[in-house]
Copies of this chain bind each other. A is one copy, B any other.
Amino acid sequence: MLTRTCEACGVRERALCGVLDDAALAELAVLGVQRRLGRGETLLHAGDPPLVCANVQSGALKIVSLSSDGDDAIVGLLYPGDFVGSPYADRTTHDVVALSDATLCVFPRSVFERALADHRRMEQLLLQRTLGDLAATRDRLAALARASAGSRVAGFLADAARRLAVAGCQRGLEPETTSFDLPLSRGEIGDLLGLTIETVSRQMTRLRLAGIIDLPGGRGIVVRDAAGLLAAAA
């Protein structure tokens, strides 16, 4: 995937989706404020008025749907280049929490809405991206509905490898990064996939014993057999 990310505002440009012109990007970067979040810090809180929109520059965040009984489900992840926020909405629908230390380019919502009004292309792009996110979430829904625990874990690892490899690509590394650190704990992976910690761990071990991955240290992942991983995800 051909992508290039604006260092200043974190906007990821996808070749296939069309791009903002440089002037608009520069303007956006000026409007935003860089902000650092530590692991566990909350950017947006469900139910609050959505004060800010933001682009992720580095790190990872989780979108959390918290139920009353504390059994929280992770309904989405945000990696560098991703946008988060609900322009024109009066309520934030989900919590957004940093999984690791992260940097974002944050815009006050009113400022961002103003920018959307001034740049039609940007509003179209945001609609496109939101429709894309919707399609991706539906695909995840389909996967979660039918897939076995093994498929879910393998699919998650394949997806993480792909997305973190893209992030590495920005930093000039090999596009096919086969080694990375997970930004999530086993428990968080369980929340994401609708599985228990134990089941996630067992499936990870299965993949390791099958020679498909290695598990160095606590969070480390080495993909030994990318094709095998994709096959296990199917």
Residues from chain B with Cβ under 8 Å of A204 in the complex: none
A133 within 8 A of B: yes
Contact of B138 with A94 in the complex, beta carbons under 8 Å: yes
Interface members, chain A 135-153 (any B CB < 8 Å)? 135, 137-142, 144-146
Contact of B94 with A146 in the complex, beta carbons under 8 Å: no
A134 within 8 A of B: yes
Q: Can you name the residue of chain B whose Cβ is closest to the Cβ of A18?
A: B88
Residues from chain B with Cβ under 8 Å of A127 in the complex: 87-88, 123, 126-127, 130
- The bracket for how many chain A residues form the interface is 35 or more
Contact of B145 with A73 in the complex, beta carbons under 8 Å: yes
Given contacts A144-B141, A144-B144, contact A124 B88 (CB under 8 A): yes
Interface-located stretch among A22-30, A37-45, A63-71, A214-222: A63-71
**Other-chain contact of A194, B16, B132, B146 (Cβ < 8 Å):** B146
**Other-chain contact of A75, B16, B88, B138, B193 (Cβ < 8 Å):** B138
Residues from chain B with Cβ under 8 Å of A88 in the complex: 124, 127-128, 131
Residues from chain B with Cβ under 8 Å of A86 in the complex: 131
- Smallest CB separation, A177 vs chain B (Å): 27
- Smallest CB separation, A154 vs chain B (Å): 15
Residues from chain B with Cβ under 8 Å of A71 in the complex: 146
Q: Which 5 A-B pairs have the closest CB atoms?
A: A145-B194, A73-B142, A65-B142, A75-B138, A93-B135
Which residues on A are within 8 Å of B, measured CB to CB? Answer: 16, 63, 65, 67, 71, 73, 75-76, 86-90, 93-94, 117, 120, 123-124, 126-128, 130-135, 137-142, 144-146, 191, 193-194
